[in-house]
Amino acid sequence: MQESENSQFVSNNLSFESLKKLNEHGIEYWSARDLQPCLGYSQWRRFENATQKAIESCKQSGNDPSHHFADAGKQINLGKGATQTIEDYHLSRFACYLIAQNGDSRKPEIAFAQKYFAIQTRRQEISEQMAADLERLETRQQASVEFKALSGAAREAGVQDKMFGVFHDAGYKGLYGGLGSDAIKARKGILPKENLMDRMDTTELIANQFRMSQTREKLKRENIRNQRDAMETHETVGKKVRSAIEEIGGTLPENILPAEPIKKVEKRLKVSKPLLTLDPKDAVGLISPEQVKKEE
C-alpha cells in the first residue's frame, strides 16, 4: 500500500500507522487486539467474526492466508504478578484491508477505514471502469445498510410502518429541492418500478448516505418521539446537505444523470472475477522471502 502524504486512518485517537510493529524479520504487522478498538469494535468475538470473513476473502482473492494472518497469543497483566494469554492475530497490511472490507459498515470507523484502504491498498492495476464499478457497488451496499438503520431509527422515533414511504420522501424532498422519489425518477427518466438508489452514481449515493446517517444520529441525539417531528427532521437534514453541496459548488443531485442499473454493474464484476494480485512485498505478508523459498 502506498502511503499518501496527508492520509492517516485515525479513529478513537489511534492512528493506524502508529499501531504498526515489526516482527523478527523486520516486516511490518499489526496486532488484531490493537486494531479492534480502532475499527469501532468493543467485543472481540464480533471483531473475530470480521477477521474470519477476511481470511476467507484472502483465499478467494488468490492469496495465501498464512502469509497475512498469524495466530498469536497476547499476554495481559491481571495484577499481583498474574498474567493471562488471550487470543490475538498478527496481521499484514493486506489483512487489515480485508478486515475493514468485511467489517460492519454501519460503524463510522469501518466506513472511514474502507475508504482509507480503498485508496491506499496495493492492488492489481485494474481498468478505470472496474475500479469505478467496485467503488459504486461498495457505496450502494453501504447506502442499503444505512437505509435499513434509518428505518429502524424512524420506527423508534414514532414513525408508523404505513408512513415509512412519506418519511423517506421527506429526506429526498429536502435534498432534491422539493422533489420526492417519484418526481426524481420522472425528472431523470427512471422507470417507476426501479429502485432509485440503484440508478444513483457514487457521488449521489454518498450524498444520500450522508443525509440518512445524519438524520439517524439527529433522531437519536434529540430523542425525537413524534412522527411529524421525525419527518421534519429528515427534510431539514436533507436541506442542510443540499446547502453544503451548493456552497462548495457541487452538482445538485437532481441534475446528476442516472447511472446504469446496479445489477448490470454486479453482473459485469461477477463475470470478470479479478484476483487481487499484490506487489511482491505485500504478497509475502508477514514472512520473510527466505521462508517463502523454503515453502516452495
What mean pLDDT, rounded, does the chain reach?
A: 84
Q: CA angle, corner 240, sides to 105 and 172, nearest 5?
A: 70
- The answer to whether 293 and 280 have CB atoms below 8 angstroms apart is no
Question: pTM above 0.85?
Answer: no
Q: Which of 2-6, 197-201, 273-277 is least confident?
A: 2-6
C-alpha cell of 250?
A: 457541487
Greater model confidence, 232 or 279: 232
What pLDDT is attached to residue 3?
38
Q: CA angle, corner 284, sides to 280 and 286, nearest 5?
A: 145
Any idea of the CA torsion for 17, 134, 151, 231, to the nearest 10 degrees?
90
pLDDT surpasses 80 at 49: yes
Q: CA angle, corner 104, sides to 99 and 109, nearest 5?
A: 80
pLDDT surpasses 50 at 281: yes
What pLDDT is attached to residue 196?
98
* Segments of the chain assigned E as strands: 10-11, 14-15, 21-22, 28-31, 69-79, 82-91
How sure is the predictor about 7, in pLDDT bands with cuts at 50, 70 and 90? very low
pLDDT surpasses 90 at 238: yes
- The answer to whether 231 and 167 have CB atoms below 8 angstroms apart is yes
d(CA 57, CA 51): 10
